[in-house]
Structures are given as structure tokens and as C-alpha cells.
Structure 1
């Protein structure tokens, strides 16, 4: 193996070791990492490899460096933490149907979480207001696909917010970013085919599941909801 290959392997091993230490609780958020010398000994790595690993973790928002004080585990959420995942998904050039399935799975899980808890009534009312905005946009003489997609994005973000789970909210935001092109294309086809009323009805059905706590209808309702996006109706 070349020196470059060895170096990369060691750097990744140090990165994985530190991340595993954070997950296991060995390194707590806000705590100071061991010194460079200690990390070299712990991961059987050279100083340059440890330095590269720390730079990588810093770039991804996992740790931050205080000059003269040391390296610390980030204690607050940083969007950079998920950026590598986003780029990895983009580079794999997944089929848009893969994203349909992924988003459906996440939404089914989110609705289950919402109904297992006691959803905030004010947030539910806010979802109905967003739904009204969407229907107004759909019923315009010449519907604007971008405006409809904005309200659709707001609608699904509102569902994620009902979970009161910041991780679900964040993942939903990322899936939304990745699926903009295919969702916009589906909305354009809905308008062209004159299916705007049914499109609005599918959103109302999700609201009914939430407001009536109809947990047994979650899977079918979400499956029906994606009928345009996965191309079954278009």
C-alpha cells in the first residue's frame, strides 16, 4: 500500500475513533479532547495523521479549536455536521424514486411519533392555515408551481415540527433540499393534468390523520400522498 493510502487509512481510523468516543460518552459535548500526544498513543497514529483527523472533524463541525487551550467537542448543533452526508447522497446520484421511498419512510415514522405523543394544538392549527394557503395557490387562475412548492415545503416542515424532535426536523429539511427538482416537476404535472383538487385533498387527509389521531391510517395515507411524486398518477 502506498504511503498516501496508509495515511488516509490512519486518518479515517482516528476520525472514527473520536466520533465513536463522542457517541459512547467517552468524550462529552463541550469537553476537551485528549492532547495530541495522548491521541497519538490512543489510536496508534502519527502526529500528522492526528492533526489531519482533527482538521477534518473541525471542518465538519464535530469539534472546535481554542488556540492555546486545546480541541473541544462541539456542544451545539452545527449544520456542517450533516453536510458530508448531503454531499455523499448527491455524489451517489440516487434515483429520485429512492428519495420518494426515503421521505415516505421518514414521514410515516414522524406521524407515528406525533401520535404517540400529545401534538401541540396550536401547531396543528398552523398546519391548517398552511393548507389554506396551499389551496389558495392551487386554485389561482394560473397556479404558480414555485409558490405551491413553497407552501408544500412549509406544510411538511410543520409536520416535522409537531414531533418536537430536532433530529426529525433536521433530516426533513435535508430531504426537502434534495428533492426540490423532482417535487417541482410533479407539481407542474399536477397543474397540467388538472389534478389540483386531488393534490389538495391528499394534504387534507394527512391533517385528518393527525387531528383525529388515526394511527391505523398513517401508512395508507402517506402512500396515497406520494402517488403523484412517484409517478403512479402522471
Structure 2
């Protein structure tokens, strides 16, 4: 089934508009799991844009599992149905990803929700989170690249996501981190290693009950920690 190309919204970024087109085609049934997408070159010609926004859109869609790239065959809509459970919400997050300041604010409140979910569960195994944190204290070294530091940083946040045992929260959280990852890489440097580890220790102490859980205090701590990244 072919891809339906509609008029682009001038208020959005080109890459986000390409993502929106894919979303609309999925939601209206024009595209279905397993369908093959046009090549990057064909998309460029059909939409009338350059290669850069097409590649950005493809990377975003691939990162959240909407499309699969099969070497020598092309790009396909994934046929893993579980990836489509939260399509409208996930795509909504992507469509607003150009407003990074608001996205980071959303992440701050989302992470408060994560910690509250973990704390209020009857049984929670936080040992995987502790293990990741201990590993980070040894592996986050100044000589690493920003990309490497961010990958290690995100291991902690993914461990927190998994500890909620909630597939919806995990899916949303992974999408949030994929969206803000480029900003994290831009901000990350060796001087921020101590800040990152201190923040993770604070989260871990909250989850383990060493600090009183107070949502407003936690958000203020997060705002202070992220304000440089927002203004970068």
C-alpha cells in the first residue's frame, strides 16, 4: 500500500512533519504493519525536501521501533504489534519534540512519577538500579566522548523505568529519552560527570527510602540540575 503525502505544516520542523505523515498514514490505515516504505531518495522526491530531514525522521521512527531497516531490502513498518499500543501518545511526544524546554520540564515531572510508582509498589527489586549506579561510578571517566557518557547515563534511567514494571510507562519513558538524547549529548562533558552521578545517587536514595519523598522538592532539585541543559 502506498504512502499518502499531504501538505506540510509550516509551523513544524520538516523532520517532525515527515514523522506526522507516517503517523497519519498508520492511524488511518493507509500504512499497516509489514508495509514497505519508499526509499530515502523516493521520500525526498515525493515530499520535495532534502536528505537531512528525511534521515532525521527515519532515525526517530527507527529509534522508537515504528520502522525496521532491513539491509538490502529497505524500510518497513514493524510488524511487532506491541509497538503500536501507544502510537497516538508517542507520536504526540515526537511532534512536540522541537520545544525542548517543555520536553525537559515534562521529563522532570515524569521522573517524579517513576520514583513514586517504585516506592509505592508492594514489592520492588532495586538491586538492578544499584548495580547500574555502581557500574557508572567506575565507568564514567573524563576521557570518554559525550556520546559514550550519555549512553552510560541513560542506563540508569532505563533501569528505573524497568523497575516500575509498567509497559506503558516504559514505552513512554524510552521515547522521552530518545527525543532528548541529542540535547544530552550536546550538553554532556567531563565536567558534568560529578553532577550526573550525584543526581543518580539522589534518585537512588529516594527510591530506597533514605530521603523523604516530596514531589515539589524533587522537582526543584531536577530543575536546578537541568537548567544548564535547557539554556544550552
- TM-score of the superposition, structure 2-length normalised? 0.58
Q: Which structure is larger by alpha-carbon Rg, 1 or 2?
A: 1
Does structure 2 conserve the Cα–Cα contact (< 8 Å) formed by 1:145 and 1:184?
Answer: yes
* CA distance in structure 2 between the aligned counterparts of 1:113 and 1:87, rounded to whole angstroms: 24
Say if 2:195 is the partner of 1:198.
yes
In structure 2, the residue corresponding to 1:176 is in which secondary structure?
A: helix
Aligned partner of 1:128 in structure 2 is 130
State the Cα distance separating 1:141 from its structure 2 match.
Answer: 4.5
**How big is the alpha-carbon RMSD for the aligned residues of Structure 1 and Structure 2?**
3.2
State the Cα distance separating 1:90 from its structure 2 match.
Answer: 3.6
Does structure 2 conserve the Cα–Cα contact (< 8 Å) formed by 1:133 and 1:151?
Answer: no
Aligned partner of 2:227 in structure 1 is 230
Instruction: Write out per-residue CA displacement over residues 147-166 of structure 1, whole angstroms, 9 at most, x where no aligned residue.
Output: 22112212111111111111
- TM-score of the superposition, structure 1-length normalised? 0.58
State the Cα distance separating 1:135 from its structure 2 match.
Answer: 2.0
State the Cα distance separating 1:182 from its structure 2 match.
Answer: 0.8
Larger RCO, structures 1/2 (Cα 8 Å, 6+ apart): 2
Say if 2:217 is the partner of 1:216.
no
Aligned partner of 2:139 in structure 1 is 137
Does structure 2 conserve the Cα–Cα contact (< 8 Å) formed by 1:134 and 1:200?
Answer: yes
Say if 2:100 is the partner of 1:96.
yes
Report the CA distance shift for 1:54/1:117 in structure 2 as closer, same or farther (over 3 A): closer
State the Cα distance separating 1:107 from its structure 2 match.
Answer: 1.0
Moved more, 156-165 or 128-137: 128-137
Aligned partner of 1:12 in structure 2 is none
* CA distance in structure 1 between the aligned counterparts of 2:132 and 2:163, rounded to whole angstroms: 14
* CA distance in structure 2 between the aligned counterparts of 1:86 and 1:159, rounded to whole angstroms: 19
Does structure 1 conserve the Cα–Cα contact (< 8 Å) formed by 2:93 and 2:176?
Answer: no
Q: Could you list the runs of 5+ residues in structure 1 that have no partner in the other structure?
A: 1-51, 62-75
Alignment of 1:29-108 (within 5 A): 56=29, 59=32, 78-83=82-87, 85-108=89-112
Aligned partner of 1:113 in structure 2 is 117
Moved more, 81-90 or 125-134: 81-90
Q: Could you list the runs of 5+ residues in structure 2 that have no partner in the other structure?
A: 1-24, 35-79
In structure 1, the residue corresponding to 2:149 is in which secondary structure?
A: helix
Does structure 1 conserve the Cα–Cα contact (< 8 Å) formed by 2:114 and 2:161?
Answer: yes
Does structure 1 conserve the Cα–Cα contact (< 8 Å) formed by 2:150 and 2:188?
Answer: yes
Aligned partner of 2:150 in structure 1 is 149
Report the CA distance shift for 1:102/1:77 in structure 2 as closer, same or farther (over 3 A): farther
